[in-house]
Each structure stands twice: as structure tokens, then as C-alpha cells.
Structure 1
Amino acid sequence: MVTRAIVLIESNPIDTGLLQIKAAQRLGLHPIVLTANPVPYDYIVTEGAEAIHIDTGDLDALVRECSSLGAMHEISGITTSLEEFCGTIAKLCLHFNLPGPNPTSIERCCDKFVQRQLLSQAGVPVPAYRLAACAADAESFSAEIGLPVVLKPVVGAGSSGVRLCRDAGEVAEHAGYLLGGERISGSSRRILVEQFIPGPHYSIETMGNEVIGISAEDFGPPPHFVSREYIYPALLSKDEQKRVVEVSLSSLRALGLGWGPANIDVRRTEHGPVVIEVNPRLGGTPAPQLVQLAHGVDLVTEHIKLVIGEEWDLRKGRSHTAAAQYLLPDRDGTLEIGEASGATAEPGVAEVKFYFENKTRIVRKGDYRDKIGYVIVSSPSRARAKEMLQYAVDSINWSIVPFPILDDSDSHSRS
């Protein structure tokens, strides 16, 4: 009998890769991960998935490999957990006549400058923004917009390269950093200079043309924007929730999205919600787990159903509060994980996870790669969920031991 398979272009546990593999297997599919990493993530092998080493940046090579796989399996769908491959997925699905998003819409959405143009033209509130090709442009535009500003690459995800710049010196330094070396890919080296919008931040999960969940999101210390805490659902008045939903759906229409999942970042101001960014994918972990705990909707599984042409079910089965906190390092050094605490045995503590093993060297990057792990809790009571989260985080035995400082005698003795 021919095996039904699903092809996953790259996989990452922080971006729902492991959840996709497990969901596919529950649906009776054989997951095949195409990856540029010659040594696949351990969980790919552990879960019984298949991994094939290939240049995932080469669309023609991916077409050939998928065609070859189609001779051995029934390829039911193609998807990814990583935003940088959403455009590739759209093109592959079109080529093989499989369910998938519109390639043009995905391409426009993944270009942050074009995205803002389309949103602005449709009347969706966005921060003031300018496109800079050099550090001098960035300095000029930041003065025009008004400090502080946010500098970011035009293409990217996970807050990589995103920084709050509070004065002209920081603008010049970070613009030079972004525009130098290989930090910005592609022939057009461009960065966005954006108005910084203060206020509460919300992360919205959508599927199709429906808002599934709205979470309140908090970040680690500036100047970076590394997610630190989520709570589902966000505590909003009926009017505030209505306005967030309206601006989210308007964003999907403006960008030609509406097939599959999207993750939308919004800031609430005294004048109403302002859209910071639209991502044409599921939010990374633990967002899908939080939605499932809070509302009973398994976004990863329902997305896989859509990918293979089956009907999804987005009906909410409960109304709980779910919360999560990322474990973020406050310094560079060696990760020390102590003996397991009793946190995981507490009722309502859904998961405690480390991304890295004990004794791993941690060097902060100022983006999603700084996340060491997370804690997830849920409860019918919002107050109880917040209490449990704090208790669980405080109970985990981990620390960052600073790297040893070598003096001149040490360095000479080792030379």
C-alpha cells in the first residue's frame, strides 16, 4: 500500500516543527523533513520521521526531490514551520497542485516594507515608517519620524536584527551593523526605520478569515524585542476586543491572506490598535499550546488538515486561561540545569521545557535564539493561572554561570 506522506521544508522546535510532526502522525501521515542541516534535529529521528539533506534554498532542487518522493509515496501536502520558507511552500503547492496559500500574497507579506505599504493603503493603522538603504538615510529618517525608533531588516523573523534605537548614535551603529556583512540577504540591502509605538502588546492567532485567540504579550528588556510572557486570552473590554478583531481581519484582506494561519502583532494606543506586523504562519511555540489549553482548539493539527485538503474544526470547546513564560538569560555564560523541581507535578502546570542541554554555552543574540525554554500553565481561573506560572518559574532550578575571565598570565600560558 502506498504511504501517505507530508513534506515539511525545514523544522524547528521553537517554531512548531515538533508539533507538526506529531500532528501529522496522529493523522496517519508519514512526515518527511527536507533540511539543509546535514545532522537533523534529534527529535526528527526520535519521532520516527524521515529526514533528507538538501539545499532548501534551491527551489528547483526541492521540486525535483518532491517529484522523486511522489514516485514512492502519496504526497498529501507540503508545509513548513519557518516563515522564511512560506514563500517556497506556496510555490511548491502551486506547482504540485496541492492546497496552499497564494504565492504573491505570501511574497508581499514577507517583505515588511511592501506589507506596510499595502496595510497603509487599505487604511489599516501602522507605525510611521521609511525605507533606508544606508546609515545616513536611517539617521535622517529617524530624525524625521522622531526618536526613539525601531530598526529592522526588511525580510526576517523571530525579531532577528530588530532593535529599539533611542538616539542618533544608536541609529547609526545599528544601521551600520544591519547593512554590513551578510546580516541582510538578497541583492537589495534595505532596512526599515519605524516609529516606536508604546502601549500594551497583543499577539493574534488567525486561521482562514477567523480570529481564534488574542493573547497579551510581554517582552524582555530593551533594546531587543524577545518575547517573555504570554497570557490567553488577553484581558480586553468588549469594545477593545472588537477593534483588535476588526483591525486583524482588515489586515488579512489588505494583504490577500485568508488561507491557513496568520499571526498578527498589535499595539493598543489611546487612538486604537496599531498593527506592528503580520506573519503568514502560526505563532511559534508555545502559542499553539496556549490556544489549545485555553480554547480547546489544536491549531497545528487543524492546519495540517487544511494542508492535506481535509476539513478543519475551529470550534472552541472551553474557556480557560493559559499562560507561558520563556526562560531568558540575563548574561552570557554556561547553562546550569539543576535537579528537576516539583513544578511539573503541580496540577495545572502543562509543560516545562528546555531547548538546550545542561552545560550548553549561551551567548545572547537579542532575538528568538535567546530563549532557553518555557513554562506553560492553565486554569479555569485567571488569577490562579498567573499564580501557578510564577510558582512554576520560581521552582525551576537553572542559572547562567558567567564565562571565566582569563588574565594575561592565563592567556600567555595557553599560547
Structure 2
Amino acid sequence: MTIVALEWLTFGLDRLMEAARQRGVTVQLLTRDRGVYRHDLTGSRTDGIEVVDLDTFDTEQVKRHLAGVPALQGLISTTDTWSLAALELWGDLDLPGQNPAGVRLARDKAALRNRLHGEGLSRGAGISFDAGEVTALELAELIPFPIIVKDRAGTGSRNVWLATSHDELEEVLARARHAELRGGLTAEPFFSGPLYSVETLSWEGETRVLGVNSRITSPLPAFREVGVGFPVAFPQDRAAEINEWITGVLAAISYTTGFAHTEFIITDDGFEVVEVNPRLGGGLIGETMCEAFGVNIYDAFFDLALGKRPSLMDLPLTPVQGAAQVLLYASETGTFEGHHGTGLHTGHPGAPRFYPVRAEGDRIADVTDQRGNTAIVLATGETTEIAVLNALSAAAKIQIRIARDDA
């Protein structure tokens, strides 16, 4: 039996292969750039994976390859970038997959906002627009300040701007006119409060909340994710509220099957969705969940790929510890020359682990979003709060070396 992965998240292939070996499953990874997965692929924990190099943006090429895979039983999609291509492949090859309606809504931030607003699940609507055909004055008449402008199909905190005045909105529109966008532009209200993400797994319309991640974010106007801790220990009544709310959100957008990573803000007036991602959370979220529960959640991908109810839907999940990750960002653009200080983790509590994202010689072209991330540090602790403090302490020991553009 062969299961094919259409690209992957940056990390987690080791956990996938651990589950594959237990099941006796052959795994193929289709990728246009295997360098993205250099950390996992250079370790022995991914032994047995078959890496196939092809242009995964060429859906017809991928389709031809899949048609020739012997004993193909399923296709796994874990990314935003290839989520719509996966819908086409699942349909054309008659393979189990996700509900197209839910995935398409999740990938269109304007349509998502308006659906939630129409269902009474958001206080604000979104407005799709062309930056070359609207003025700041016209946009501000439709949405009150502060305003968020973002790429309708964006990912990685890229192309997200905040405007609190007409002058700032003019600057945002000027930048948006020259930005490389995955979709069009949308504007929506800014909601104030701490950011979280709720990790869920759904099967045939039933949703299970796996847990909630806390978020440490950068100062505005950037929207970088700096740190993540799992799981958040909410009071019982608040946890029940979140469970009921996210179940309603996913039902409202017809998201019936698969992992979902929903970022949301807790405001004084309730919960507000930032975005729904039709996948497992990125970075090391999957790994922190495995560490916290002592369970390999990646095994669920095989059940989903085979069209079976994931055992994770019914498995008892009791946290045995907290886990956290801290992202290391370059402070300036230039050429990445490596990290210094990882040796200082000897004897550090929380057993810090270092996950490089960038390789020496890589170009750092932007530090305002996730493109500036060079590595992630993961640590554990007796509680999530202790894990976060362990991870922050371990990350502070590492220096990032950059050859500046003007050096």
C-alpha cells in the first residue's frame, strides 16, 4: 500500500514515517524543492520515505505521476499552498479527501469573513477590492478604523497590513499595489485581544477539539509569530465555550473532514476568527502536540487518506506535559551565515531541541513576516507556562549571523 504526500509542512515527516512503519505503509513525498525538508530528510527517522522530485505546481504532471504509482491508496495534503490542487487530484483520481466547499471557503479570507458575519459568528464583514481602483477615503467609508488589509489567499503572515488613519491607509494601499499576492485583497475590521489557535480534527461533520495554542506575537505593525505554547489550560467553562464556538464555525463553512488550524482572538465581546487553515498547524505545532500528549497525532493522516474515521477522534488525550516553540528571526536582511550558541543548551531544562529553517548562504529578503524565520527552538516543561519559559530562555542563547546587504 502506498500513500503519497503532496508536499508537506516544514517539519513532521519523521513523525509521519514513524506511523508509516508501524502500519507497514509505503510513503512517497512529491516535492519541487526537497531542500525545504532538509532537517527531517537528513535524519534516520525518515528512513524509508521515497522522495520524488517534480513540479508540484503543475497539477497535470502530478496527476500523471499518481496514475503510475502502484498500489496507490491515498493522497495527503498538509499545506495551504497546495490545498486547492489536492481537491482536484482527489476528485479526478477518486481518492478520499476533504470537503471542497469547506477548503475553498477557508482559502478565501474575504469569503470566509463574510460567511461568518452572515452566520452571526463575526461582528465584521470583509470587503474585496483592487488596490488600483479604490482610494483610502472610499475604503474608510466602508470599514471604520483600525483596518486590516491582507491577501485573500495569504499565508505565513505575509502581506498583512494595519492602518489606523487615512494617511496610514494610503501607505498600505501603495504597498499593496506592488505586493506579490496569492489572491486579491480584502479589508476587514481589526479586533483587539490575545491571539490563539485552536487545533481540531473533523470526521463526517463531527469535530473534536485537540487543544488550544497560545501565541506570542511581535509588536505591530508586523504580524510575526514569535512563540507558541501548547496546551492552554483554560478554565472549564471557557474551554467549553471555545469547543462549542469552533464547532459552530467549522459547521458554518462546511468544514467536515480533516485537521483544521483556526487562529482566533479573544476580545471583550467574544471570539473572532482571524483565519481558518484547512490543515494541521505549521511550524512545530504538530510536534508540540505529540510531546504534550505522548501520542503520535500524525497517524491520523493515514486514516484520513484511506477514508476511515481517525482513531484520534476517540483516543483519550490527557496532557502529560507542556511544550512550546520559539521562532528565531533575523533582525536585518542579507545573507544567512548560520547560528551560534546552540552548544549553550547543555544542561538546560526542558531538553531544548533546535530545528534549523534556513541553510547557510540563504538569502533573507524580508524580516517583517515568516520569511525572516531562520530556526525554531522547542522545549518542554511540567506545565505549558514552564515550557514557554524554557523555550524563551533556550532561544535567547542563540545568535543569528547575517552578512548585511550594505556590508
Q: TM-score, normalised by structure 2?
A: 0.87
Work out whether 1:57 is the aligned partner of 2:53.
Answer: no
SS of 1:13 mapped into structure 2 = coil
SS in 1 for 2:283: coil
Cα gap change, 1:227 to 1:339, in 2 (>3 Å): closer
CA deviations over 1:130-151 (Å, ceiling 9, x no partner): 2112345362223542222211
Identity, in percent, stands at 23
Report what 1:315 is aligned to: 316
Query: What's the counterpart of residue 120 of structure 2?
Result: 123
Contact 1:13 1:19 in 2 (8 A): no
Q: 2:355 matched to 1:353? A: yes
**Alignment-derived partner of residue 253 in structure 1:** 251
Map of 2:101 onto structure 1? 104
**What is the distance in 1 between the residues matched to 2:37 and 2:240?**
41
Structure 1 residue 104, shift from structure 2 partner: 2.6
Kindly state the Cα deviation for residue 32 of structure 1 after the two structures are TM-superposed: 1.7
**C-alpha deviation, 1:12, in angstroms:** 4.3
Q: Secondary structure at the match of 1:349?
A: coil
Larger Rg: 1
Q: Quote the Cα distance in structure 1 between the aligned partners of 2:216 and 2:254.
A: 29
Show the 5 A alignment for 1:106-255: 106-135=103-132, 137=134, 139=136, 140-180=138-178, 183-185=180-182, 190-208=184-202, 209-255=207-253
Report the equivalent of 1:410. none
After superposition, what is the alpha-carbon deviation per residue over 1:80-99, rounded to whole angstroms, capped at 9, x for unaligned?
23112112222322333322
- Residue 393 of structure 1 is matched in structure 2 by 395
Match of 2:32 in 1: 36
* Unpaired segments ≥5 residues, structure 1: 407-415
- Note the alpha carbon deviations across 1:59-97, whole angstroms, 9 max, x for none: 33322221112xxx2112101231121122223223333
Q: Which residue number corresponds to residue 8 of structure 1? A: 5
- Residues 42, 348 of structure 1: alpha-carbon distance in 2 compared, 3 angstrom cutoff: closer
Q: Secondary structure at the match of 1:372?
A: strand
Contact 2:337 2:403 in 1 (8 A): no
CA contact (8 A) 1:40 1:51 kept: no
- SS for the counterpart of 2:290 is helix
Q: What SS is found at the alignment partner of 1:56?
A: coil
Kindly tell me: are residues 327 and 126 of structure 1, through their superposed partners in 2, closer, same or farther at Cα, counting changes over 3 Å? Answer: farther
Matches within 5 A, 1:402-413: 403=404, 405=406
Q: Which runs of 5+ in 2 are unaligned?
A: none
Matched-pair contact (CA < 8 Å) for 2:99–2:256: no
* Superimposed CA distance per residue, residues 371-402 of structure 1 (whole angstroms, 9 cap, x where no aligned partner): 11111122223453243223312233x23445
Amino acid at match of 2:3: I
1:100-152 Cα shifts (integer Å, max 9, x gaps): 11123212221111112222222212544221123453622235422222111
Q: Aligned equivalents of 1:54 and 1:329: distance in 2? A: 31
Structure 1 residues 17 and 381, CA, compared in 2 at 3 Å: closer, same or farther?
A: closer
Q: Report the CA distance shift for 1:62/1:390 in structure 2 as closer, same or farther (over 3 A).
A: closer
Distance 1:148 1:63, change over 3 A: same
- Residue 7 of structure 1 contacts residue 32 of structure 1 at CA under 8 Å; is this kept in 2? yes
Q: Distance in 1 between matches of 2:127 and 2:8?
A: 33
d(CA) in 1 for partners of 2:186, 2:260: 22
**How many residues are treated as equivalent by the alignment?**
394
Cα distance, 1:344 vs. partner? 5.4
> Contact conserved, 1:118 with 1:254, CA < 8 A, in 2?
yes
Contact 2:146–2:189 at 8 Å: present in 1 too? Answer: yes
Deviations along 1:284-303, one digit per CA (max 9) or x if unpaired, are 02111111222334332222
For residues 14-67 of structure 1, what are the alpha-carbon distances to aligned partners after superposition, in whole Å with 9 as ceiling and x for unaligned? 5x4565455444533222222334877545764443333333233333222211
Residues 41/303 of structure 1: CA separation in 2 closer, same or farther (3 Å cut): closer
